[in-house]
Every structure is written in structure tokens, then in C-alpha cells.
Amino acid sequence: MTSQTTSLPLTASNPAPQATRQLRNFIGGEHVDGVRTFDKLNPVDGSLIAEVHESGRHEVDRAVAAARAALDGPWGRMTTGERATILRRIADTIERRFDDLVAAEVGDTGKPETLARDLDVARAAANFRAFADVVSAAGLDSFLTELPDGRRALNYAVRKPLGVVAVIVPWNLPLLLLTWKLAPALAGGNTVVVKPSEETPSSATLLAEILLEAGLPAGVVNVVHGFGEDSAGEFLTTHPGIDGVTFTGESSTGSAIMRAVAPRVRPVSFELGGKNAAVVFADADLDTAIAGLARSTYLNTGQVCLCTERIYVERAIFDDVAAGLAEQAARLRLGRPEDPATTTGPLISQAHRAKVLSYLDLAQQEGATLLAGGGIPSLGPGLDGGSWIEPTLWTGLDNSHRTVREEVFGPVAALIPFDTEEEAIALANDTDYGLAAVTWTRDLSRGHRVAQRMRVGMSWVNTWYLRDLRSPFGGVGLSGIGREGGHHSLEFYTEPTNVCVQL
């Protein structure tokens, strides 16, 4: 979702008001003004957080030039070991600036502080450590060739950076998803121009400063702020100076970026949308399954690409699961991020809430029965200006309904009954997306059997979101192209060159 709130030309006669925090672009190690500013609002109460400096073509040119110069500088000549040392130092510096990053992330997203601490910022540090390890252990092919005519040759591949990489990320887990791409890009020796979401500019700007503090040379990571079309996103993806694009966001945006890079045939890595299914068999441990479903449906107010929006339940336990999950939804505590009792924050923006509300209306038109939520909560004075929404649960829908086919990206799920294992697999796979799935069962063989037949990139059994950062992450169909994670990331962020030496 994009929502341009204001657009004021910045001129000497119209300087930005001093009282409002200014978030500038970060290019070549310096804060750089944009062509105009836009407002970043707090989703908790609608208050103004910052004026963000939007990059125009000129600023994007400067950022790409800074990244190119840094690639040709000392950074480009560092050994893998030296880069791994810097990555570990970045992780240490993130931990030192932990509270500042939590404040930036919570301010932009309104998510509970506990979630930002336990998930977003903790994972940011973990991402840098993980890829320092991955690149240190990475090897490449070597072959001793022996031809029938007696010639012998040694073939070995060396790994080179992809070059200047455009990193474009969304707003839902801003720092986690940015560092998930930045850490392997840096591990591989690349330089980077980051375009954070217009909804979450703060943590990326702060991270750029932290990277310098940790010893990363200026220009290796640059940050340009702005929107997609006719703004920093488009200027970056169409720029002739970039060597590849790694993108996380909506499938339709992925498609636009593919068209933008097609004329110059640049590689892309895409982590896109999902309409993820969970399948609950009657033999599942019901309490664990219901708690797991509540988490996979409502974590981060449903704004995680891996969140479950379709829940298929074996008919014998349908009513029990429905009652249990509705109870869990009703128990969620919506509130201010700093309150430790808060489990659930607002949606990212009023524009995104309007989209989610349109699906709540559509579900009613499609004949849904509401088991929980379904509208805007009343949270009292002070929070009225925020983009709050009730955690929602439906029955009465099936795979023919748009509500069950299209990604809502909010705290919503439809419960649908099934009778056989084959039917459950068919229903779960009946989607244009293919990111993630969860199978709940106590039958070990069935767990493996069903998990492997899910047409997705990530298939969980009796858990959700549990990750090993070395394992492949990504989706099939509309959910993406390529895999990131462990050596899969390095395959995107580096180019092997084969050397053949006749012996």
C-alpha cells in the first residue's frame, strides 16, 4: 500500500519547520535533502512523526554513483574475512543501539514494543551474524578435468559481488526484512541503495548511521526515501547503474519491477504476497493447534507475509476449533505499544485500513458469518486517530469467494471445513500464491506427507514462523522468484567466475 500524505516543495524560502523531525536520505555517508517532503504519521493516533525527504531522480543518481564508487574503493578489495568481521561488528552495534532501533520501529509501525524487541530488532542483529557465518563457510566448485587426449586442467570458481544492488522493502517488518537482504548483500561484497517503504522510513535511516558507526565505509549502503511509481522506487529500478534488484512486497509491485528491469536484463529476487493456508486434522493436539493458529493469524496485526488467512479444519473438530480461535481473537489486547499487556497494534496506515475494511464488507456480501471482530474497535480518546481494526474470524466462506482468494494482509481468517486428506491438500493448493502453509496433526507420517505436497516455499508441521536462517526462504507462483537464506542468498548476491587452468 502506498499513501502520499503531503507533498511540499522544499525551497530556501519554504524551509521545513524546525520543530518537526526531518528524515533525510543517506547518500555517501551524508544526510541529503530531498526534492520535497511527505508526512510520516503515527498509526497509533495519527500524530505527525516526521517529515521525510523524498528522493528525485537526481538524488537516486547520486546514491547509485556513491554505491558504484564504494564498490571500486577499499570495500571492493576487502577479503571475505574482513567483511565478516565488519558484519559481526554491525550486529554488536545494533545491540548497543537496541533501544533507539526499537523506538524507531515502534514509532513508524505502532507495533507492541515487546514484539519489536523480541522479533524485529533481535532478528536484525541475528541476520548480520548469520551471514557472517554463511559467507565464512561458503565454498565453490572445483574440478580436475582429464580429457581422453591426455590434457588435464584445474577448474575452479571464484565468487564476485553482483555489484550495486537495489534493495526495496515493505513496511510490515521493516528492519527485519531490510537486514535479511542487506546482510547477505554485504557479506557478498556488494554495495547497496536501499529504498525503504514510505510508511517506515525511520529504522532504515538510523541503521545507515549505525553501519557507519560499525566501520562500514561511506557509500557502501545508501538510503533513498520515497514512493514507488514516479518516485524513488521507479527511479531506482529503472536506473542503468544497478546490477540487480532484491524486493519484498506485493506481487503486483514485483510484476512492475520485473518490467522495469527487463530492458537491461538484470537479475531479481522477489519475496511477494501470500494467501497462506493452515490445515487442521482431527488428530491434532487441539490446544496447541488453536494457540498456533491464533499466532499465525494475528501476529503483527496479521501483517506478516507468512500469516494464515485460510484455515481448513477437519469437519469432526470444526466447531471446537471455531470456538477456540474466536475466544483467542477476543482475548487479544489492542492498545498503546509501550503497555506490556498490549498484544496487538494498529494497521500501518489509514489507507491500509480502508483496504482491510473493504474486505470486511466484501466478506459480508459473500455471505460470511462473523465469529470475531469485523469492524473498527472503540479504544477511547487518544487512539481515535489511529488505524485500528478488530481481529476478525469468518465462517461460511469457501474457495470460490474473493475474500478467500485475495491477500487481505490484516488480522483476518476464514475457517472452512474438509472431510479427507486429499480434499484438504487440494483446497490448500487452490491458490495463485504459494508462500507458506501449516499442517496441524499428531500423525507423523501424515505431517510429512501433507507438508511435502503443499505447493509453497515453506511448509510447517505443528509450528509456524520457526526459522533456521540457513534454510531457503521464498515462494512459488505469485509469491515470488528465487530463494534467500543461507547459501541461497549468496547465490543471488554473488556471481561465480570459473577459472580453467591447463596443467
Active site residues: 271, 305
Q: Which range touches ligand NAD (CB under 6 A), out of 116-124, 130-138, 167-175, 204-212? A: 167-175
Contact flag: residue 410 with ligand NAD (CB under 6 A): no
Contact flag: residue 197 with ligand NAD (CB under 6 A): yes
Contact flag: residue 337 with ligand NAD (CB under 6 A): no
Q: Which range touches ligand NAD (CB under 6 A), out of 65-73, 129-137, 224-232, 283-291? A: 224-232
> Which of 208-211's residues contact partners 24+ apart within 8 Å by CB, and which partners?
208/26, 209/26, 210/90, 210/93, 210/94, 210/97, 210/101, 211/90, 211/93
Contact flag: residue 459 with ligand NAD (CB under 6 A): no
Residue 337: count other Cβ atoms within 10 Å of its Cβ.
Answer: 23
> 3-state SS of the chain: helix, strand, coil percent to 5?
40, 20, 35
Please identify, using beta-carbon distances, which residue of 189 and 233 lies nearer to ligand NAD.
233
Does an H or E element contain 494, and which? Answer: strand 494-502
Give the phi and the psi of residue 416 in degrees, each rounded to 5: -135, 130
d(CA 240, CA 256): 16
d(CA 349, CA 199): 8
Please identify, using beta-carbon distances, which residue of 253 and 441 lies nearer to ligand NAD.
253
Footprint (CB under 6 A) of ligand NAD, residues 23-52: none
Give the pairing of strands 48-54 and 36-41: antiparallel
d(CA 115, CA 343): 8
* Choice from 29, 34, 170, 174 touching ligand NAD (CB under 6 A): 170
Contact flag: residue 171 with ligand NAD (CB under 6 A): yes
CB of 42 to ligand NAD, least distance (A): 17
Amino acid identity at 460: W
d(CA 163, CA 456): 30
Per-residue interface string for the shown chain with ligand NAD, residues 75-104, x marking contact by CB under 6 A: ------------------------------
| Backbone angle region of 418, left / alpha / beta, with phi > 0 → left and psi within -120 to 50 → alpha | beta
CB of 471 to ligand NAD, least distance (A): 14
Contact flag: residue 188 with ligand NAD (CB under 6 A): no
Please identify, using beta-carbon distances, which residue of 111 and 159 lies nearer to ligand NAD.
111
Q: Which range touches ligand NAD (CB under 6 A), out of 144-152, 205-213, 233-241, 336-344? A: 233-241
User: What is the three-class DSSP state of 368?
Assistant: coil
Cα dist from 189 to 72, 247, 470, whole Å: 11, 19, 19
β-sheet with 48-54: strand ranges across: 8-9, 36-41, 48-54, 22-23
CB of 193 to ligand NAD, least distance (A): 12
For residues 473 and 457, the answer to whether their CB atoms sit within 8 Å is yes
CB of 379 to ligand NAD, least distance (A): 24
Contact flag: residue 403 with ligand NAD (CB under 6 A): no
CB of 172 to ligand NAD, least distance (A): 5
CB of 166 to ligand NAD, least distance (A): 9
* Residue whose grid cell is 522544499: 10
Contact flag: residue 1 with ligand NAD (CB under 6 A): yes
Does an H or E element contain 161, and which? Answer: strand 152-161
Number of residues that bind ligand NAD (CB under 6 A): 33
Grid coordinates standing for 468? 533456521
Q: Where are the alpha helices (DSSP H) in 138-197?
A: 174-187
Contact flag: residue 227 with ligand NAD (CB under 6 A): yes
For residues 450 and 464, the answer to whether their CB atoms sit within 8 Å is no
* Choice from 159, 195, 336, 488 touching ligand NAD (CB under 6 A): 195
Contacts of 210 (CB under 8 A, 6+ apart): 90, 93, 94, 97, 101
Per-residue interface string for the shown chain with ligand NAD, residues 292-331, x marking contact by CB under 6 A: -------------x--------------------------
Contact flag: residue 62 with ligand NAD (CB under 6 A): no
Q: Which range touches ligand NAD (CB under 6 A), out of 226-234, 308-316, 365-373, 458-466? A: 226-234
Contact flag: residue 274 with ligand NAD (CB under 6 A): yes
Footprint (CB under 6 A) of ligand NAD, residues 240-269: 248-250, 253, 256-257
Contact flag: residue 179 with ligand NAD (CB under 6 A): no
List contacts with ligand NAD (CB under 6 A).
1-2, 168-172, 177, 195, 197-198, 227-229, 233-234, 237, 248-250, 253, 256-257, 271-274, 305, 407, 409, 435, 475, 480
